[in-house]
Amino acid sequence: MYQALFFLFAASAVGFAINLLIQRHPIHSALSLIGVMGSLASLYLMLGAEFLAVVQVIVYAGAVMVLFVFVIMLLNADKEEPSDRSKMAKYLGLPLLFLLLAMITVVIYRQFPEDAMVQFGDFPGQTAAIGRLLFRDFLLPFEVISILILIAIIGAIVLAKKEP
């Protein structure tokens, strides 16, 4: 069941990513990116990284994607015309991709020869641990981040707001 779920979400992440690359229209690519992020969030969730999953959904799939879509609409981006692709990419692209995948596989099997797969939900309680670190040990950086957000707000308004 868990393995089936893993492969389901992993496959959908890869599928959306490939779709992102082959779509000609920027908006379609942006929508595929939301799919990638959603699938990734599910994978994080299955490992027990609830905080990461929530950040992935709320900040990335939510806010950052809104910004992406607005930029695409702001620039009025139209269909991409395929340019003259370089010959190098055409002939070397796929072999190099497989070489990279093979290398990653080899490294992983070298590092973890025994078949010790990470079990789903292996790291529960992450959110509370992050909270304890953030609000106790890293109390100072946490408070400074509020000034950082404040400056970003001022910056957005100073640089982007039209003077009446």
Partner 1 sequence: MLSEYFSAVDFLLLKPAILLTIFGIGVMLTDLLLDERQKYFNAVTALVGIGFAAVQMLRIQSQMREAGVSEVEAFRGAIVLDGLGIFFIWLFLISTAITILISFRYLEIENEHHGEYYAILLFATVGMIFLAIGMDLITLFVGLELMVLSIYILAGFLRGDRRSNEAAMKYLLLGAFSSGILLYGMSLLYGMSNSTNLRVIGSALSQRPLGDPLVIMAVVTIAAGLFFKIGAVPFHQWLPDVYEGAPHSVAAFMSVGPKVAAFALLLRLFLVPLGELREQWEPLLIGVAVATMTLGNLAAISQSNIKRMLGYSAISHVGYILLGLVAGNETGLKGIVIYLLVYVFMNLGIFTVVVAMRRRDLVGDEINDMAGLMHKSPVMAILSLIFLLSLAGIPPTAGFLGKYFIFLSLLETGHYTLAVIAVLYVAVAIYYYFRIVVVMFMQPPADQELPSMSLGIRCALGVTAAMTLFMGLYPEPFIQLATGPVLAILR
Partner 2 sequence: MPNYYIQSYIPILMLLAVVILLAVGMLVASYLLGQHRPTREKLTAYECGITPTGDARHRFSVKFYLVAMLFILFDVEVIFLYPWAVIFKELGIFGFVEMLLFLVIVLAGFAYLWKKGALDWTKADSGGL
Q: How many CA atoms lie within 13 A of 97 on its CB side?
A: 7
> Which lies closer to partner 1 via its Cβ, residue 59 or residue 145?
145
Asked if 138 is part of the footprint of partner 2 (rule: CB under 8 A), the reply reads no
Partner from partner 2, partner 1, none contacting 87, C-beta within 5 to 8 A by type = none
Separation of CA 69 from chain center: 16
Copy the structure tokens of residue 63: 């806010």
For residues 120 and 85, give the distance between their C-alpha atoms in angstroms, rounded to a whole number: 42
What is the DSSP secondary-structure string of 87-119?
A: HHHHHHHHHHHHHHHHHHHHHHHHH--S--PPP
| Residues in CB range of 124: below 8 A, 6 or more apart | 48
Rule CB under 8 A: choose which of 74, 88, 95, 113 binds partner 2. Answer: 74
Rule CB under 8 A: choose which of 101, 132, 137, 141 binds partner 2. Answer: 132
Separation of CA 92 from chain center: 27
> Which lies closer to partner 1 via its Cβ, residue 92 or residue 154?
154
For residue 128, the minimal CB distance to partner 1 (Å) is: 16
For residue 84, the minimal CB distance to partner 1 (Å) is: 27
For residue 13, the minimal CB distance to partner 2 (Å) is: 15
DSSP summary character for residue 57: I
Binding site for partner 1 (CB under 8 A): 136-141, 144-145, 147-148, 150-152, 154-155, 157-159
Asked if 130 is part of the footprint of partner 2 (rule: CB under 8 A), the reply reads yes
